[in-house]
Amino acid sequence: MGGSILGAAVKRVEDPRLIIGEGRYLQDIEIDGALWMVPVRSTIPHGDLGDIDIDGASVAPGVVRVYLAGDLDMALMPIGAPGLEDSTRRPAIASDRVRFVGDIVAVVVAESEQAAVDAAGLVWADIEPLPAISTPEEGADQDAPLLFPELGTNVIYDRGDADDSVLTDADIVIETKVVNQRVAAVPLETSGAVVSPREDGGLDYWLGSQSAHGHKRAISTVLGLDPSMVRVRVPDVGGGFGAKIALYPEQALCGAIALDLGRPVRWNETRTENMLAMCHGRAQTTEVCLGATREGAIVGIKLRVTQDAGAYPQFAAYLPVFSRRMAVGPYLIPNVEFTWRSVVTNTTPVDAFRGAGRPEATMAIERAIDQLALKLDLDPADVRRRNFIRPDSFPYVTVLGERYDSGDYEAALDLALQTGGYRDVREEQDRRRRDNNRFQLGIGIGSYVEITAGTGREDWGAVEINLDGMATIYSAGVSHGQGHETTFAQIVSSVLKLPIDKIRFVQGDTDAIAHSGGTMASRSLQIAGSAVLGAGQKALHKAREVFAFHSEVAIDDVVQFEDGRIGVVGVPTSAMTLAEIAAIAAEPSNLSGDMEPGLRGEEIWDQEEATFPFGTHLSIVEVDTETGNVRILRHIACDDAGTILNRMVVDGQVHGGVAQGIGQALFEEFQYDDANPITGNLTSYLIPSAASLPPFEVGHTETATPENPLGAKGIGEAGTIGSAPAIVNAVIDALTPFGISHLDMPLTPAKIWTAIEAARLKDSGSTA
């Protein structure tokens, strides 16, 4: 690749405009004459939909139209999971039944947002309540009310084969139940859409999206348009975390209404709507049986997963398949049984959320490992070390068929333990336990391996050298905080030897980008970045070809000098700048007959295999045994995402991931009471703030992958996967003197205090 800028901690070039308020987000898109759309949502979790009174809303000031089911020519929404019945597909506007609080029953369109909001309050829907299901366990009961009666069941998937031989050789079996609770994505920017109809009958869309082309395809399908009639552009995006991959009914409705009325339409989701209507994450329960020898060697594991799909199946209905792929983690486990089911419930649909299946599997395994260590009175670090896949085993194919590309799991563990002063902290922990100190120390380890670019390993990129000497990157990735504008510019800078400020970046425009797999599954750098690398190399080669033809020299004699100029080898005075060569290439008369004008390279990178980042997180916490409050003293993240191109960007991704992992471990849970949401805003749904987080200590090992020319693996989700089990294990470790071996997340002060008090009452023999 060449060039020292690769691997350098280059400051993010996109940050200055974002910091000073010059970012351009969806609400900043101005379109004259745009109407406002506001959905009217069901306040009943499950019921038969009767008459809807829209008379008052229809004549309210500023109202243009109120739409009900059947008023717009739209197909049902796509399903993000394979093999499901069409009857489970969601209508954009409910017609006969509502299935969760937030289901759309009508849509008000007005000249202003306030007029639409006011009129929406005048719509009244007659809904006959039906029994509602809050949990998948309720839904799986044979006597449960059915969300989709024609299916005859709420269990939409039930897969896997039991294997009684998995634990045959075990001397000891650990049984535990791990709940990855339902969480909300809570991106800083909520969802929305801005749509303009075109004279040719097509639509121009602006969306906050993780996949412009994915949205283009879905919009075309739902609205019955040829894909060429839909253009999707993505401005700056305030976070996605998986929740902005799918097309939402509101976004499709904006397009249908724009076509119907012939005017631009916009929709902006409120925070309350966001909590109810944006897809939730996790919502997975795992029953674990881990078998081992008396020496702590794992001989087998059985996992039974139950997935809450919510009211309408999305990708997460199939999420246990991705948990299965990580069912052995970084460990040499020779025998695995994995069975799973997905169940629809009268709750917000569940979709991908940062990690999508890998955090769920890691939490289950790491909790079982810690319980095994406790049962055998072994150090948790030693149990992990004893069972790690060895560095000389790679590429390693697990018993489930996953091909781990490269790794040194013990090196990451050693780095975390060394950084944290593990033995010294254990000694301090013992001292506090002997003294019955009110503030007990807990030390938690979260070792993991995850899969990145697990599917969709093809992407496109282009690099064009312009007449002004600038280079333009056209990237298939859609950045919503990942720093593509910086890291991809570093790649092209290393190839063309141009300063980063001489490189433009174009993304998120389906008219400018040939095709894209989007930004998800931690795939951007290794897939889209490799495509950009190849495109840059092709653009450089084209410059050499043009110079060779123009100068009448052999291409083999043309080289790139250290200052980026192109010339004859050994003759620096012959060299020309890229801008000068671009000017030559712009004129067809200067080119050979088979050359296209311009200096442009395009590349499709098709990666054969997935990559498998790994690492160990170490968390040191202090638990106040009188109040249950948890204080994180230190959190050490040691991750390996292959070759690091920009340490600053990588560390930033880890910081964000760790914050979300801590959020799940200690704070966040979306709750229902009889399928009615009770955490519908940010006063009742808690997220961590900077004040509740410690300074993170980030370290890395670098084990390059052979799967792409950058040697890079994904890093965007690693922090979430490693941090949550480390935090939970640390808190439970602090509570071990009370005989507490497990608590479900989130580990709130009230939950911890209740468990401690129950343990104290039990020890005292009290029955109070």
DSSP 426-483: HHHHHHHHHTT-SEEEEEEEEEEE--BS-S--EEEEEEEE-TTS-EEEEES---SSS-
User: Cβ neighbours of residue 28 under 8 Å, at least 6 residues apart?
Assistant: 235
737 alpha-carbon distance from chain centroid: 37
**pLDDT value, residue 764:** 81
Say if residue 276's pLDDT is above 90: yes
Amino acid of residue 206:
W
Q: Is 469 exposed, middle or buried (0-12, 13-18, 19+ CB in 10 A)?
A: middle
- Average pLDDT in the chain: 96
Residue entry with tokens 């060429």: 228
* DSSP per position, 219-246: HHHHHT--GGGEEEE----S--TTTTSS
**pLDDT value, residue 763:** 83
**pLDDT value, residue 271:** 96
Confidence band (pLDDT; 50, 70, 90) for 415? very high
Q: What average pLDDT does range 314-320 have in this prediction?
A: 94
Structure tokens given for 60: 């309210």
Strand order in the sheet with 471-475: 503-507, 471-475, 458-465, 599-606
* Contact predicate 185/273, CB 8 Å: no
Confidence band (pLDDT; 50, 70, 90) for 766? low
Structure tokens given for 124: 């009244």
Structure tokens given for 331: 């460990």
Per-residue pLDDT of 81-98, as tens digits, reads 899 999 999 999 999 999
Q: Which helix (H) or strand (E) holds 546?
A: helix 530-551
Structure tokens given for 88: 């489970």
* DSSP single-letter state for residue 765: T
Per-residue pLDDT of 247-269, as tens digits, reads 999 999 999 999 999 999 999 99
Rounded to the nearest 5 degrees, what angle is found at the Cα of 166, between the Cα atoms of 162 and 171?
140
Q: What average pLDDT does range 373-394 have in this prediction?
A: 98
Say if residue 539's pLDDT is above 80: yes
Per-residue pLDDT of 337-366, as tens digits, reads 999 999 999 999 999 999 999 999 999 999
Say if residue 3's pLDDT is above 50: no
**CA distances (Å), 527 to each of 354, 395, 456, 482, 723, in order?**
18, 20, 9, 14, 26
Rounded to the nearest 5 degrees, what angle is found at the Cα of 73, between the Cα atoms of 67 and 79?
100
User: Cβ neighbours of residue 711 under 8 Å, at least 6 residues apart?
Assistant: 642, 643, 704, 705
**pLDDT value, residue 1:** 40
Say if residue 767's pLDDT is above 70: no
Confidence band (pLDDT; 50, 70, 90) for 330? very high
Confidence band (pLDDT; 50, 70, 90) for 477? confident
The mean-pLDDT minimum among 360-369, 588-597, 705-714 falls in 588-597
Which residues are 648's β-sheet partners?
Answer: none
Phi, psi of 373 (to 5 degrees): -60, -40
Per-residue pLDDT of 100-146, as tens digits, reads 999 999 999 999 999 999 999 999 999 999 999 999 999 999 999 99
The domains of the chain, with CATH numbers, are 15-21+457-606 (3.30.365.10), 32-130+194-239+244-277 (3.90.1170.50), 281-452+610-764 (3.30.365.10)
pLDDT > 90: percent of the chain: 94
